[in-house]
Chains A and B, each alone.
Chain A
Amino acid sequence: MHFGPHLLLAALEGLVTSAVLALTALGLSLVFGVMRVVNVAHGEFFMLGAVLAWAITTAIGGHPALGFLAALVIAPLIVGAIALVAERLVLRRLNYNPEATIVATIGMLYIIQQLALTFYGPEARPVEPPFSYRILLPWFGYSGYKLSVIATSALLLIATWLVLTRTRIGLVMRSTQYDSETAQAFGIPVGRVYAGVFALGAMLAAIAAVLIVPISQAHYLMGQDPLLLSFIVVIIGGLGSLRGTVVAAVLIGMSDGIISMFFSPTLAKIIATLLVAMVLVFRPQGLFGTASR
């Protein structure tokens, strides 16, 4: 294959990564932005989504699309419910103190990981894609499913953006993010908004995971990489900035896809992590964020 098609393939793979990353990071960014909580267990919600997708598709059987669609609806709901319970039982009692919530979500990470290992097992398991159509490009055939992942993610991102900017729910969320005390004084049930945002963040991660499972299999340790990458995206994009999150996800996904196709993936990760750490050191508000309050 020549350099051009090779680059195109790397870019397409990068776009798939970006699409999934944007959804995952958006969840982290919402929780981080609205509640000021660093959810270290975010990667585990992602993993839980993938594992549940495997469980649901296996339970339903029949045509792969049937099970997949069921997983796409049910898995995020279950994960959201778990997040809701965790929020009510733990985070609320900590009064959303930033440091205490970090420690508590680290605890959640361990609990979810261990439960997944105990009940699901250490092996990686595949989920069949809902359809296996190949799109023929002049140089190579490319998985139609992967392209549909990109499209689905884009649709969901647009939907989230519409909800945040055009609806009452979005207004309530933004007002809580801007000044939770004043919002409370105006009769906004801040506690319920926090619970909803935390569940929504977990659900976005779970949706992203269901989308990626037919490509990369479900495994109980699969939450670690997306967690770190999501942190990177959220930081580069700037806290609570949807536009920044998407741009950063595309940037990271594409560079990860292209660099790891031409160089060693470990080297690519080292360079990317170091660069992002430097961004955070010298520009703590991120590339698109406004100065922190």
Chain B
Amino acid sequence: MSEASPAKAYGLHLGVIALLFVLSFLLPEYYHGLLARIMVLAVFATGYNMLFGYVGLLSLGHAMFFAAGLYGAGLAVIHLGWNVPAAFAAGIACGAVLSLAIGLLALRTTGVAFMIVTMMFAQVSYLIILYFATWTGGDQGMVVPQPARILTFGATSLDLTNPTVRYMTALALFSIVLLVTLAIVRSRYGRVLVAIRENEERTKMLGYDTFSNKLAAVVVSGTICAASGAAYALLFGYVGSSFASVQYSILPLLWVLLGGAATTLGPLIGTLFMYYVIDVSSGYTSAYLLIVGVALILLVLFFPKGILGSIRQRWLEWLP
């Protein structure tokens, strides 16, 4: 990867954000709503990419971090009556604490064992959600009532159920996360993460504490995923156990692989592409799992680097 000038990289990312902003005024209603959802889920994928793409740790348990944010925010609103910012903060805090605990345990293992351990912890949290059905709504889930989703700053109030406000909030969250990950990836710390991915032994030999660097990456990744979950609960008003299932741990892996692992914009492109493929194909068939399955196999066979990863390899070497 050759070095890019900061202006070029930040310019590209700000351009993408500006494009998403302009699209808000151009898109028809249906796609407007879809894109808002995609941006929130792209945050989830970005958090996943942080760990999978840049550190090379394949986790199959990230649904639990998304669910930590989702339920952290949702339960705070429904049972404690907290306002939107407090609930959002609660969701993020749940994700941060959970990812710290899981990271401390799961990082004792590597490779395939890490994948299975994260999947098991995620399964435990899924079962816990089902077990405490009185508070979590079990597999029915819960709806966050509309009046609880209004943000008030003194005299002005923002209704998160309003499509425009929802889109802009999703865009704001996505932009912050995108720029933060870009900064992390380009920092010294980001270099250490890539070094761990490429050769952990050598990185250790160079004097870096690889365990605490990886732990920090798990926490950053888990916190970003939790932010996505918390935003999902508050913006779309639904909190459900299906978001904690194994399938929801696999989806971000698919999005990241499709867009290009270890590229900052890959998660957005992957999420966008997959959603549109499913959206278009569901017009013809209800068998969308088949498409997901075939896409996964074709990707891993022919495009192991994903869309943006292949573009970077062939043409734009400076992509971050």
Known: A267-B131, A270-B124, A274-B124. A280 touches B293 (CB 8 A): no
Please, which residues of chain B bring their CB within 8 A of the CB of A232? 120
Shortest Cβ-Cβ A-B pairs, 9 listed = A110-B293, A107-B296, A111-B293, A114-B289, A107-B297, A114-B290, A277-B120, A107-B293, A110-B289
Q: Tell whether, in the assembled complex, residue B257 and residue A281 are in contact, meaning their CB atoms are under 8 Å apart.
A: no
Q: Which residues of B contact A273 (CB under 8 A)?
A: 120, 123-124, 127
B250 partner residues in chain A, CB cutoff 8 A: 106
Per-residue interface assignment for chain B, residues 240 to 256, with 1 indicating a CB less than 8 Å from any chain A CB and 0 otherwise: 00000010001001000
B113 proximal to A (CB < 8 A): yes
- A108 close to B293 (CB less than 8 A): yes
Residue of chain A at shortest CB distance from B121: A277
Are B289 and A98 in touch, CB under 8 angstroms?
no
Most chain B beta-carbon neighbours within 10 Å: one of A38, A118, A267, A284: A284
Number of residues of chain B lying within 8 A (CB) of chain A: 38
At the interface, yes or no: B235 with Cβ under 8 Å from chain A? Answer: no
In the assembly, what is the distance between CA of A98 and CA of B124, in Å? Answer: 25
List residues of B (121-135) whose CB comes within 8 Å of A's CBs.
Answer: 121, 123-124, 127-128, 130-131
Q: How many residues belonging to A are interface residues under a CB distance threshold of 8 Å?
A: 41
* Cα A174 to Cα B161 with chains together (Å): 61
**B109 sits at the interface (CB 8 A):** yes
Contact status A102-B127, CB under 8 Å: no
List residues of chain A with CB within 8 A of the CB of B121: 277
In the complex, the answer to whether A270 meets B127 with C-beta atoms within 8 Å is yes
Closest to B132 in A: A266
CB distance from A278 to the nearest CB of B (A): 8
Give the shortest distance, in Å, between A102 (CB) and chain B (any CB).
Answer: 7
Instruction: Tell me whether B294 and A111 are in contact (CB under 8 A).
Output: yes
With A90-B297, A111-B294, A235-B116 known to touch, is A98 a contact of B127 (CB < 8 Å)?
Answer: no
Which residue of chain A has the shortest Cβ distance to B296 in the bound complex? A107
Please tell me if B1 contacts chain A, counting CB pairs below 8 Å.
Answer: no
